[in-house]
């Protein structure tokens, strides 16, 4: 057997061993006979191993980014549910304040609480949807009733039944509204 054949056999054996363990074994460079093409074979082998590791790294990075996005989405969904519940309590406070005001009671404490709640909603980018006097928009409003009215253009919101809210530029709760409808004279 020639030296090159011995080197080829040794190289193949080393490659097989590396495939089994997936860890390159340290070579004793003093005992290896560097024949023609050996260096290029080693470079090719290491290049392939490097490419494989790069692909693995990219897959792991993509998996991590997907997991991070899913986690943020889950947190936002849970957070949005809590904010929706919070909005119900906020609206209850506003209704209570309105009822007490009609009776002539002092509502200063309720105003303070409502202001704090509005600050919290603002921190989460929750905004109420403007309604009265605006044109009906099915992306923002839900029609509860049509009211015959010649004073407004048809499809104009004339009354708000329940406030709607937007969070991060997405509708969280649609406004429930009454819209104008032209009176048809027969």
Residues 178 and 145 sit within 8 Å (Cβ to Cβ) = yes
Give the N- to C-terminal CA distance of the chain in Å, as an integer.
Answer: 111
Residue 98 vs residues 93, 94, 114: alpha-carbon distances, Å: 9, 6, 12
Task: Quote the tokens at residue 96.
Answer: 């209570």
Identify the pLDDT of residue 186.
Answer: 57
Identify the pLDDT of residue 99.
Answer: 93
Nearest Cα neighbor of 178 from 170, 166, 165, 162 is 162
Per-residue confidence in pLDDT tens, the chain, 186 aa? 555 565 566 666 666 665 555 555 565 555 556 666 778 888 888 999 999 988 888 888 888 788 777 777 766 667 778 888 899 999 999 999 999 999 999 999 999 999 999 999 999 889 999 888 889 888 999 898 888 877 878 888 998 998 999 988 888 888 999 998 877 765
SS3 breakdown of the chain: % helix, strand, coil, rounded to 5?
55, 20, 30
Residue ranges matching CATH 2.30.22.10 in the chain: 127-186
Identify the pLDDT of residue 15.
Answer: 60
Identify the pLDDT of residue 64.
Answer: 76
127-186 homologous superfamily? Head domain of nucleotide exchange factor GrpE (2.30.22.10)
pTM over 0.75: no
Task: Quote the tokens at residue 144.
Answer: 């509860």
């Amino acid at each position: 057997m020639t030296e090159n054949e011995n080197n080829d056999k040794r190289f193949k054996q080393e490659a097989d061993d590396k495939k089994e363990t997936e860890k390159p074994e340290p070579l004793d460079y003093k005992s290896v006979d560097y024949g023609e093409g050996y260096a290029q074979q080693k470079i090719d082998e290491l290049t392939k191993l490097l490419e494989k590791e790069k692909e693995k790294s990219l897959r792991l990075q993509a998996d991590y980014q997907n997991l991070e996005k899913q986690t943020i989405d889950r947190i936002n969904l849970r957070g949005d549910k809590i904010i929706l519940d919070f909005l119900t309590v906020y609206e209850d406070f506003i209704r209570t304040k309105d009822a007490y005001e009609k009776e002539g009671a002092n509502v200063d404490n309720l105003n303070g609480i409502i202001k704090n709640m509005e600050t919290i909603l603002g921190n989460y980018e929750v905004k109420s949807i403007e309604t009265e006097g605006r044109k009906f928009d099915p992306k923002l409003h839900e029609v509860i009733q049509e009211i015959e009215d010649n004073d407004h253009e048809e499809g104009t919101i004339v009354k708000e039944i329940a406030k709607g809210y937007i969070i991060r530029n997405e509708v969280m709760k649609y406004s429930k509204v009454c819209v104008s409808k032209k009176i048809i004279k027969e």
